[in-house]
């Protein structure tokens, strides 16, 4: 039996020559022009983040008023005053921590509960998701004015409904009550963003393999045991995202506070972002810059603690 050899075509010979050249040259290097692609993003990052941060650090050790061509160097005096003598800053910090605690706990819990009940892609679940997500697309100022009407002690929605059903004893001044005002703003914040966090949890829940629940059912686990030992550990990454984002939101609720409490807000509604804003508005740029650095460091520390806590409770820890 004879074997007939078919000559290789031009395309085959070209591929062979290319393969030989590639083997001879070794690993190919990226074209130098590819290094130009990150440049626009890097320029924006340096211009709008790195440079303002460095500038803020420089201002924080001066007493610059925002208008004078020169500023006097004061060293760490601004930071020492913040830590020891500034009662307004301590009051704002206390309000902010109360606000953050309520928002993080209840927004995380409610968003997870909604996600568990609405994780299936049925028509009713999709419709309810849209309803709960709707407040997120509204502006903070719009939400503030709507809830200002809800909380109005004279003709607000809540007190009107309570009066109509004979529950006058439960009527409240809401934002006019200094001991409760910050918590009522926290309720508004939870209503505002719970739908947004719900979507994050739904994405996490839909990634859990169904086999885990089937195995748990086979072992006789109840629904609560499935939720505790399967759902919660598996959504730990989503929980880390929700808690970190919610923490940042609670420290940046500037426009919501001003919309509900006025400008400037009274002491019971003053938080760190509004306190820093007041410093800039009063031409205390150096001192406000120092407050901003403390503010940023505080958010970083709290977020790090949250991430460590969630990571410790995750199944991969």
Residue 97 in contact with residue 251, Cβ under 8 Å? no
The answer to whether position 273 is within a domain reads yes
Task: Provide the residue range defining the domain that includes 107.
Answer: 77-313
Asked if residue 181 lies in contact with residue 175, where contact means CB atoms within 8 angstroms, the answer is yes
pLDDT at position 69 is 86
Task: Judge contact between 306 and 247, C-beta under 8 A.
Answer: yes
Q: Does residue 81 contact residue 89 with C-beta atoms inside 8 Å? A: no
Residue 59 lies in a domain: no
Angle in degrees, 0-180, between the axes of helices 140-151 and 157-164, rounded to the nearest 10? 30
- Both tokens of 233, joined, read 């550990």
What gap in Å lies between CA 157 and CA 163, rounded to an integer? 10
Tell me the CATH number at 151.
1.10.3720.10
Q: How far apart are CA 96 and CA 30, in angstroms?
A: 49
Structural contact between residues 74 and 60, judged by C-beta atoms closer than 8 angstroms? no
- Given a contact cutoff of 8 angstroms between Cβ atoms, the answer to whether 88 and 265 are in contact is no
Number of domains forming the structure of the chain: 1
- Asked whether residue 88 is domain-assigned, the answer is yes
The residue behind tokens 């949250």 is: 306
Q: Which parts of the chain register pLDDT below 70?
A: 1-28, 312-317
Determine the pLDDT at residue 24: 52
Q: Single out the residue of 273, 268, 262, 275 nearest to residue 86, CA to CA.
A: 275
Is the peptide bond preceding residue 264 cis, with omega within 30 degrees of 0?
A: yes
Q: In this structure, is residue 63 part of a structural domain?
A: no
Question: What pLDDT is stored for residue 28 in this prediction?
Answer: 65
| Residue 87 forms part of a structural domain | yes
Question: Is residue 46 situated within a structural domain?
Answer: no
Does residue 5 form part of some domain? no
Give the up-direction half-sphere exposure of residue 264: CA atoms within 13 A in the CB hemisphere.
18
Strand partners, 62: 73
Whether 43 maps to a domain, the answer reads: no
Q: In whole angstroms, how far apart are CA 50 and each of 20, 25, 46, 78, 278? A: 48, 41, 5, 22, 24
């Amino acid at each position: 039996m004879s074997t007939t050899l078919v000559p290789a075509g031009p395309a085959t010979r070209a591929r062979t020559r290319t393969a030989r050249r590639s083997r001879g040259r070794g690993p190919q290097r990226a074209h130098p022009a590819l290094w130009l692609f990150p440049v626009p993003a890097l320029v924006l990052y340096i211009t709008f983040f790195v440079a303002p941060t460095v500038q803020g650090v420089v201002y924080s050790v001066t007493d610059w008023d925002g208008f004078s061509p020169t500023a006097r160097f004061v060293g760490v005096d601004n930071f020492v005053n913040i830590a020891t003598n500034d009662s307004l800053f301590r009051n704002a910090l206390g309000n902010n921590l109360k606000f953050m605690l309520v928002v993080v706990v209840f927004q995380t819990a409610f968003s997870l509960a909604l996600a568990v009940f609405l994780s299936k892609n049925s028509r009713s679940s999709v419709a309810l998701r849209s309803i709960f997500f709707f407040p997120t697309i509204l502006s903070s100022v719009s939400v503030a004015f709507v809830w200002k009407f809800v909380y109005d002690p004279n003709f607000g929605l809540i007190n009107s409904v309570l009066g109509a059903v004979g529950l006058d004893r439960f009527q409240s001044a809401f934002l006019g009550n200094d001991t409760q005002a910050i918590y009522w703003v926290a309720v508004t914040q939870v209503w505002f963003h719970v739908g947004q966090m719900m979507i994050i949890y739904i994405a996490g829940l839909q990634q859990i393999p169904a086999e885990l629940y089937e195995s748990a059912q086979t072992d006789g686990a109840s629904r609560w045991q499935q939720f505790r030992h399967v759902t919660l550990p598996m959504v730990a990454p989503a929980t880390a995202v929700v808690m970190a984002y919610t923490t940042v939101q609670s420290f940046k609720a500037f426009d919501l506070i001003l919309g509900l409490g006025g400008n400037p807000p009274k002491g019971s509604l003053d938080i760190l972002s509004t306190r820093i804003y007041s410093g800039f508005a009063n031409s205390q740029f150096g001192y406000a810059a120092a407050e901003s650095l403390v503010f940023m460091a505080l958010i970083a520390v709290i977020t790090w603690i949250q991430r460590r806590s969630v990571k410790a409770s995750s199944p991969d820890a």
